[in-house]
Amino acid sequence: MGKKVALTGNEAAAHAIRQINPDVIAAFPITPSTPIPQAVAQFIADGEMDTELVTVESEHSAMSACIGAAAAGGRVMTATSANGYALMWEMLYIASGMRLPIVMAVVARALSSPLNIHGDHSDIMGGRDTGWIQLISENSQEAYDNLIQAVKIAENKDVMTPALVAQDGFNTSHTIEIWELEDDQKVKEFIGEYEPLYPMLNTDEPVTHGAWAPPNWYFEHKMNQLRGLLNAKDVVEKVGKEFGDAFGRYYGLYEAYKLDDAEYVIVAAGSVCGTTKDVVDGLRENGVKAGLLKVRLFRPFPYKELAETLQSAKAIAVLDRVSPAGAQGGPLFTEIRSALYDTPSRAPVINYTYGLGGRDTQPRHISSVFETLKRIVETGKVEKQFDCLNLRGEWR
């Protein structure tokens, strides 16, 4: 058992990075993830880490430096948020295409405009197709645990794919919670030594990284890359179990909260799941069969496993912390609904956008979702497939 500490989500990420002690970190500050590299810089100054911290002039440069260091053969990490993540865009694809297992802490935040520094999932959802593994954390404990596991997942020989671990800006990153900090040595043993496949610094076997592939090669390389990303699903499960064996907290692809016989189900990811669990508990006490499916692994999307857990549901609401931006619904909604199409379930699935730009989502808002689900089952009618939670004025 670890030591109980009362620290923020950002500090949880920073302690994970301290224990991982990567060879290189290249980072640029951006709210709300700034405290992560800041704390890391302090750890290095205090002699608790020997990571090479590269301070750069932008996030584009940060990811570029990470790619160079990872191609050289180093274990590499970074942290960012929102517009910083967006500025990395080009390099995110290059990191995944070059199969460099960089691990990044993302403190999820709204994208401008209007300028807003608070939490939502606009950044990570926008980057969902950059070829990175995406793990979403509910709280500080998960932000810490997921970062440690992400190193092992990304560096697995069958995966060799960069991974991001998201936590919600401010809801988690700046909130002090009690969580368990594990022993430094135990964490180091858990992740083990990194053995890069083709390090550029190995002058005995010279290699070229980042070469071009003409039309008669590119397609094969992209599908080879996809296989690596898809392989991550089984590795996430395996590492989640190993982590449980080592530290007592077990992880899977998702968390099924009171889902076995649930009829009214909310599907969500991130800190809103904590609020939803409270509401589910209250409803269960009153005999209402409510449940939560918390999505932990968003990329690769474990569509089969998620759809299976939803088979008892009579009505489902998917919560997306991002605008659908012109799609039928938010990204979690469209993928969940698509996954259900291949199963016997024909439960109605509705979608909510919530929490944009740090808008509060309280138990009463989650309760209203369950009430809507009950009404749908009672009347057999879906009045609104898409709606907003805690928006001023009715969405129409």
Partner 1 sequence: MAEKLLNWDEVLIGGVIKDPGNSREYETGSWRVERPVWNPDTCIQCMFCWVYCPDSAITVDENGKMTGIDYTYCKGCGICVEQCPTKPKSLKMILEAEAKGKTEEELRKEVFSSEK
State the residues that interact with partner 1 by CB under 8 A.
97-100, 160, 197-198, 205-211, 213-214, 216-217, 219-221, 223-225, 227-228
Residue type, 114: P
H/E element holding 375? Answer: helix 363-379
Residue type, 122: S
Give me the residues paired with residue 257 across strands: 292
Burial environment of residue 162 by CB neighbours within 10 A (0 to 12, 13 to 18, 19 or more): buried
CB of 67 to partner 1, least distance (A): 11
CB of 356 to partner 1, least distance (A): 36
CB of 220 to partner 1, least distance (A): 4
Closer residue to partner 1 in complex, CB, 6/213:
213
Closer residue to partner 1 in complex, CB, 70/88:
70
Q: Contact 53/41 with Cβ under 8 angstroms?
A: yes
Closer residue to partner 1 in complex, CB, 45/197:
197
| Tokens linked to 207 | 């290699």
Residue type, 132: W
Which residues, in sequence order, are CB contacts of 214 under 8 Å at separation 6+?
Answer: none
Closer residue to partner 1 in complex, CB, 209/375:
209
Closer residue to partner 1 in complex, CB, 220/378:
220
Closer residue to partner 1 in complex, CB, 199/274:
199
CB of 194 to partner 1, least distance (A): 15
CB of 250 to partner 1, least distance (A): 30
CA-wise closest residue to 160 among 133, 135, 200: 133
CB of 278 to partner 1, least distance (A): 44
Burial environment of residue 365 by CB neighbours within 10 A (0 to 12, 13 to 18, 19 or more): buried
